[in-house]
C-alpha cells in the first residue's frame, strides 16, 4: 500500500482497541521469566559451546604477535578464532571499524579473538591465557583538542537570512558554549547471540533492533547469500540505538560455531560493552541567540562539534534548531573531528537529545536576560511553519498547548523567577522547563497475516519489541482492523523469515510497523470479502464476523479448511517532504539542592506530549517515563570518562557508569494531548519513545539554576561543578 495522501476515516478510528490502555500481551511471559532473550535459546540448539570475547588492550596500532598456544591447550577449548584464521570477511556497510580486528586495531576493546570452549569458565580462562604483543600508535582522543581540526559537515549547514548581521544588530544577545559527554546505552541485556550452522545455512538468535539490516550485514560480512542467514530476535532487553546494527557478538558466534562445528553462544562481557560497541558521541555546542526587547528572536545560531572514527558520522545536535523556534536569520553547522575513540553512533533521539540539552538551557538564559518567563518566551517564538521555508507547514504542532497545559498542571506560577530564593529547610528548591522536539520519521514496513478457520489471526513481521510494546500495539491494530478480540490475535515478531518491517529505531517503529500491519489487514479484509461474496467497500468487520445489510458470516469461513494468507507493506510517499512531521512536548521539573552538600534531588517531573494518535496510552506512558528517567541520568550522572592518553572509556561497567535507580526518581506524570495526524500514516500516530527524553536534561539544569542561581553548561551536572558557588543559607 502506498501512503501518499493524508489519511481519511478508516477502521482504526473506531478506537475500540487501538488507543486503549491495554496490558502488554507479552507481560505474563516477561514477568514469569518465560520470554526467552538471546542468550536463553539454548533449547533450540543441540550441545552448544560457549564463546568468550577478547578485546584489544590498545586504542590504535597493530598486533605484532599473538600467542594462542596456551589457550588452545587449555582444558575444554574447542577453537580460537582470530582475524588470521577466520577466513575472508567482507566489511559490512554499517560499522565504521571491523567487528573482528587484527592485525590493525581501530579502537580499544575492538574484538580480536573469540575462544570457544565447553564451558563459559573454560573459555574465559583460555582467553586470558592469550598473549598479545602490540605496537601502539599515536591517536587523537580529546574532542576539545581536536576542535580546531574538525571539518565542516556539508549536509548540516543551513542558513536563512543573514545570521551574522542580525546577531550583531540584536539589542539582546546570548553567546554561550555547552558540552555534553560521551554516553553509553547501558541497556540491561548486553549484546548476545547463539549461532548454529546447518550445512551452509546459518541461524542466529540475537538481540537486535533491526532484523533485516542485521541479516543483510551478517550475510555480507560472511560472504553468504542473504537467504542462507536467518536472524531471530523475539525479545530484546533494551537497545536505545546500541543494537541497531550487527555487532561482534553475532559475527563471532557465527565464526566460532563454524570453527568448533557446534552451536556457540556469546554474550559480550559487560566490561566490553562501552568500548566495543557504539556510544553517543560527546559534543561541544556554541549557541548564539539575538532578540529584540520585545523578546522575539531575530537571530538563532547553533554550531556543534563532535568526533568519530575516520569515515564516521557527526552527532547531529543542531537539527532541532532549524525547526523549533521562529526567527528570520538562522545558522546551523556541524563539525566533525576524527578521533580514535570507540565508534560513535545513534543513541536514543540522536541529534535532538544532546542538541536540546544545550539549546534549551540557552533559551532559559535568554529568557532571563529579557526578563521574560521561560514558558512565555518559548510561546512568543512559536512558529507554525518551517522557519526556513514558510510554504511548508508542520503536519501538527502543539508545542504551545504542551507548554500552557504543563505550566498549569505543574503549578508553574509558584516558581520564583529570582533564582536561589526558594527554600525548604536546608534545601534550595527550583522549577525548570524545557521544550521537547523530535522529528517523526517513517519507514517502509511489511507484514504477513494468516486467518485460520476458527477466525484466529496471526501476524508475522520482523518488527522487534525492545521493551516498547510492539507486540501489544500490533495486536491492537490487527484486532481493530479485523473486528476480532485481542484473544483472537497472535503476534510473531523478530524473525528474518518474516516480512521486513520498519524495525525499532528513531521512534519510527510504532507508527510505521502498525501501518504495515494496517496495510496487510486492508488486503485481508478484501480477501475475506471476496471469498465470502461481500463487497469490501460496504462490509463491516465486527465481533469476529463480516456483515453487510442483514447478512453476516464468521470470518473463519473465508479460510476454508486451510488458512487465508496475505502479505503487504506500507510505503510512504512524499508527505514527509510536503509537511514537516515532528513531535512536540514540554518537560517540567522541580529539584531540590542541599545547600550544604550540593546533593541534587529530583522532586517532581511532568511531561506533556503531542505525538499524533497514542496507540496505547499505557505502553506509551511507560516509554515516556523511561525516557524521563534516562533524562535524569543524562542531566546528573551519565558520562563515559575518557582516558585522553590511552584512548578509552574508563568507567566501562555498570559500577562506574552511573545511571539512575528507583530511589533517584520521584513521581512522574505524563499527559498526552489529544491529537491525530492524518499525514503521518493511516494510523495517524507518531512516536514518543525518543520525544520523552528530548529536553529533560535541560529542564533539570534550568531547575538547578532556579534553585541555586548557578548556571551550569557542562553535563553531567555533578556537585563538584557548583558546590563552591551555592548561596549561603540565611
**Catalytic residue positions, numbered:** 690
Backbone angles phi, psi at 448, to 5 degrees: -115, 140
Q: With DSSP H G I counted as helix, E B as strand and the rest as coil, what are the percentages for the chain, rounded to 5?
A: 30, 30, 45
- Please count the CA atoms within 13 angstroms of the CA of 50 that sit on its side-chain side: 18
CB of 445 to ligand MOS, least distance (A): 15
Laid out side by side, the sheet with 297-308 consists of 151-160, 329-338, 297-308, 283-291, 172-180
Q: How far apart are CA 218 and CA 330, in angstroms?
A: 43
Q: Does 464 bind ligand MOS (CB under 6 A)?
A: no
Query: Using the rule CB under 6 A, which residue among 455, 506, 660, 682 binds ligand MOS?
Result: 506
- 107-115, 308-316, 342-350, 670-678 -> range binding ligand MOS (CB under 6 A): 342-350
Q: Which residue shows C-alpha cell 533450540? A: 44
Site track for ligand MOS across 537-576, x = CB under 6 A: ----------------------------------------
Of these, 80, 346, 500, 600, which contacts ligand MOS (CB under 6 A)? 346
Of 155-163, 343-351, 514-522, 695-703, the window that binds ligand MOS (rule: CB under 6 A) is 343-351
Strands 648-649 and 642-643: antiparallel
In the region spanning residues 219 to 248, those forming contacts with ligand MOS, defined by CB under 6 A, are: 239-241, 244
Residue nearest to ligand MOS (CB): 241
Q: How far is the CB of 347 from ligand MOS (least distance, A)?
A: 5
Q: Map residue 545 onto helix, strand or coil.
A: strand
How many other C-beta atoms lie within 10 A of the C-beta of residue 230? 18
Q: Is 350 in the site for ligand MOS (CB under 6 A)?
A: yes
Query: Binders of ligand MOS among 160-219, rule CB under 6 A?
Result: 209
Cβ atoms 335, 303 nearer than 8 A: yes
| 344 lines the binding site for ligand MOS (CB under 6 A) | no
Give the nearer residue to ligand MOS in terms of CB position, either 346 or 559: 346
Least Å distance, CB 612 to ligand MOS, is 18
186/479 with CB nearer ligand MOS: 186
Query: Binders of ligand MOS: how many residues, by CB under 6 A?
Result: 11
Q: At closest approach, how far in Å is the CB of 698 from ligand MOS? A: 19
| Calpha distance 446→433 (Å, rounded) | 39
Q: Least Å distance between CB 245 and ligand MOS?
A: 10
> Judged by CB, which is closer to ligand MOS: 204, or 466?
466
**Binding map of ligand MOS across residues 56-95, x = CB under 6 A, - = no contact:** ----------------------------------------
Q: Which of 347, 463, 589, 627 binds ligand MOS (CB under 6 A)?
A: 347
Give which of 264, 267, 269 is closest to 49, Cα–Cα: 264
Specify the residue, 239 or 342, whose C-beta has the smaller distance to ligand MOS: 239
* Closer to ligand MOS by Cβ: residue 279 or 652: 279
Q: Is 687 in the site for ligand MOS (CB under 6 A)?
A: no
- As a whole number of angstroms, the distance between CA 591 and CA 689 comes to 24
Full DSSP string of 605-638:
EEEEEE-BB-S-HHHHHHHHHHHHHHHHHHHHT-
Q: Which C-beta is closer to ligand MOS: that of 505 or that of 716?
A: 505
Q: Which residues contact 534 (CB under 8 A, 6 or more apart)?
A: 528, 546, 548, 551, 553
Question: Minimum distance from CB of 505 to ligand MOS (Å)?
Answer: 3
Non-local CB neighbours of 536 within 8 Å, separated by 6+ positions: 525, 526, 529, 530
DSSP string, 118-160: SSHHHHHHHHTT-EEEEEE------HHHHGGGPEEEEEEEEEE
Residue among 505, 544, 692, 716 that touches ligand MOS (CB under 6 A) = 505
For strand 283-291 and strand 172-180, is the pairing parallel, antiparallel, or unpaired? antiparallel
Return d(Cα 610, Cα 473) in angstroms, integer.
18
Alpha carbons 369 and 374: distance in angstroms, whole number? 10
Determine contact, residues 97/60, Cβ cutoff 8 Å.
Answer: no
In angstroms, give the least distance from the CB of 711 to ligand MOS.
Answer: 29
Shortest distance (Å) from residue 363 CB to ligand MOS: 24
CB of 579 to ligand MOS, least distance (A): 22
Q: Compare residues 299 and 346 and give the one whose CB is closer to ligand MOS.
A: 346
Rank residues 387 and 505 by Cβ distance to ligand MOS and give the closer one. 505
List interacting residues with ligand MOS (CB under 6 A).
209, 239-241, 244, 346-348, 350, 505-506
Amino acid at each position: 500500500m502506498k501512503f501518499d495522501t493524508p489519511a481519511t476515516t478508516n477502521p482504526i478510528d473506531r478506537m475500540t482497541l487501538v488507543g486503549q490502555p491495554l496490558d502488554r500481551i507479552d507481560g505474563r511471559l516477561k514477568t514469569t521469566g518465560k520470554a526467552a532473550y538471546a542468550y536463553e535459546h539454548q533449547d533450540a540448539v543441540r550441545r552448544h559451546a560457549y564463546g568468550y570475547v577478547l578485546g584489544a588492550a590498545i586504542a590504535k596500532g597493530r598486533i605484532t604477535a599473538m600467542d594462542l598456544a596456551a589457550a588452545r591447550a587449555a582444558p575444554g577449548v574447542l577453537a580460537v578464532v582470530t582475524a588470521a584464521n577466520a577466513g575472508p570477511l567482507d566489511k559490512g556497510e554499517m560499522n565504521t571499524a571491523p567487528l573482528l580486528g587484527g592485525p590493525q586495531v581501530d579502537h580499544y576493546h575492538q574484538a580480536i579473538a573469540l575462544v570457544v570452549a565447553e564451558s563459559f569458565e573454560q573459555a574465559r580462562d583460555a582467553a586470558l591465557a592469550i598473549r598479545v604483543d602490540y605496537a601502539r600508535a599515536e591517536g587523537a582522543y580529546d574532542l576539545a583538542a581536536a576542535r580546531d581540526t574538525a571539518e565542516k559537515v556539508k549536509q548540516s549547514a543551513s542558513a536563512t537570512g543573514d545570521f551574522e548581521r542580525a546577531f550583531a544588530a540584536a539589542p539582546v544577545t546570548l553567546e554561550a558554549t555547552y558540552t555534553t559527554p560521551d554516553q553509553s546505552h547501558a541497556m540491561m541485556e548486553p549484546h548476545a547471540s547463539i549461532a548454529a550452522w546447518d550445512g551452509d545455512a546459518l541461524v542466529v538468535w540475537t538481540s537486535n533492533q533491526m532484523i533485516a539490516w542485521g541479516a543483510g550485514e551478517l550475510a555480507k560480512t560472511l560472504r553468504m547469500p542473504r537467504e542462507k542467514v536467518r536472524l531471530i530476535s523475539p525479545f530484546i532487553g533494551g537497545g536505545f540505538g546500541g543494537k541497531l546494527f550487527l555487532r561482534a557478538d553475532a559475527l563471532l558466534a557465527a565464526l566460532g560455531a563454524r570453527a568448533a562445528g557446534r552451536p556457540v553462544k556469546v554474550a559480550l562481557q559487560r566490561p566490553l560493552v562501552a568500548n566495543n560497541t557504539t556510544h553517543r558521541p560527546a559534543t561541544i555546542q556554541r549557541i548564539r541567540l539575538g532578540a529584540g526587547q520585545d523578546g522575539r528572536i531575530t537571530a538563532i545560531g547553533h554550531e556543534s562539534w563532535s568526533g568519530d572514527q575516520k569515515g564516521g558520522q557527526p552527532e547531529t545536535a543542531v537539527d532541532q534548531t532549524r525547526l523549533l523556534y521562529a526567527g528570520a536569520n538562522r545558522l546551523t553547522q556541524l563539525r566533525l573531528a576524527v578521533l580514535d575513540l570507540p565508534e560513535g553512533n545513534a543513541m536514543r533521539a540522536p541529534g535532538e537529545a544532546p542538541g536540546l540539552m544545550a539549546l534549551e538551557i540557552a533559551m532559559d538564559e535568554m529568557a532571563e536576560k529579557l526578563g521574560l518567563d521561560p514558558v512565555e518566551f518559548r510561546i512568543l517564538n512559536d512558529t507554525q511553519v518551517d522557519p526556513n521555508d514558510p510554504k511548508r507547514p508542520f503536519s501538527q504542532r502543539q508545542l504551545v498547548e504542551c507548554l500552557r497545559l504543563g505550566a498549569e498542571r505543574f503549578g508553574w506560577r509558584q516558581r520564583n523567577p529570582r533564582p536561589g530564593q526558594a527554600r525548604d529547610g536546608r534545601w534550595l528548591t527550583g522549577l525548570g522547563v524545557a521544550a521537547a522536539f523530535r522529528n517523526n520519521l517513517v519507514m517502509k514496513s511489511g507484514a504477513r497475516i494468516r486467518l485460520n478457520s476458527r477466525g484466529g489471526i496471526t501476524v508475522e513481521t520482523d518488527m522487534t519489541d525492545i521493551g516498547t510494546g510492539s507486540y501489544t500495539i500490533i495486536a491492537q491494530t490487527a484486532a481493530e482492523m479485523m473486528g476480532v478480540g485481542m484473544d483472537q490475535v497472535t503476534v510473531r515478531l523478530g524473525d528474518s523469515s518474516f516480512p521486513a518491517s520498519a524495525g525499532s529505531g528513531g521512534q519510527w517503529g510504532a507508527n510505521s510497523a502498525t501501518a504495515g500491519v494496517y496495510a496487510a489487514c486492508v488486503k485481508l479484509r478484501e480477501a475475506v470479502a471476496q471469498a465470502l461474496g461481500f463487497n469490501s467497500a460496504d462490509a463491516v468487520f465486527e465481533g469476529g464476523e463480516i456483515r453487510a445489510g442483514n447478512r453476516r458470516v464468521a470470518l473463519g469461513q473465508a479460510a476454508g479448511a486451510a488458512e487465508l494468507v496475505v502479505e503487504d507493506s506500507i510505503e510512504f510517499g512524499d508527505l514527509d517532504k510536503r509537511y514537516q512531521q515532528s513531535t512536540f512536548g514540554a518537560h517540567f521539573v522541580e529539584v531540590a539542592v542541599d545547600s550544604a552538600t550540593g546533593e541534587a534531588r529530583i522532586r517532581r517531573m511532568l511531561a506533556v506530549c503531542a505525538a499524533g494518535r497514542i496507540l496505547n496510552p499505557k505502553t506509551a506512558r511507560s516509554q515516556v517515563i523511561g525516557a524521563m528517567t534516562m533524562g535524569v541520568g543524562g542531566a546528573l550522572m551519565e558520562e563515559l570518562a575518557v582516558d585522553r592518553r590511552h584512548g578509552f572509556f574508563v568507567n566501562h561497567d555498570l559500577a562506574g557508569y552511573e545511571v539512575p535507580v528507583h530511589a533517584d526518581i520521584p513521581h512522574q506524570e505524563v499527559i498526552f494531548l489529544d491529537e491525530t495526524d492524518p499525514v503521518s500514516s493511516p494510523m495517524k500516530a507518531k512516536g514518543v519513545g525518543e520525544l520523552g527524553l528530548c529536553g529533560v536534561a535541560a529542564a533539570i539544569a534550568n531547575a538547578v539554576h532556579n534553585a541555586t542561581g548557578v548556571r551550569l553548561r557542562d553535563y553531567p551536572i555533578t556537585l563538584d561543578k557548583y558546590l563552591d558557588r551555592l548561596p549561603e543559607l540565611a
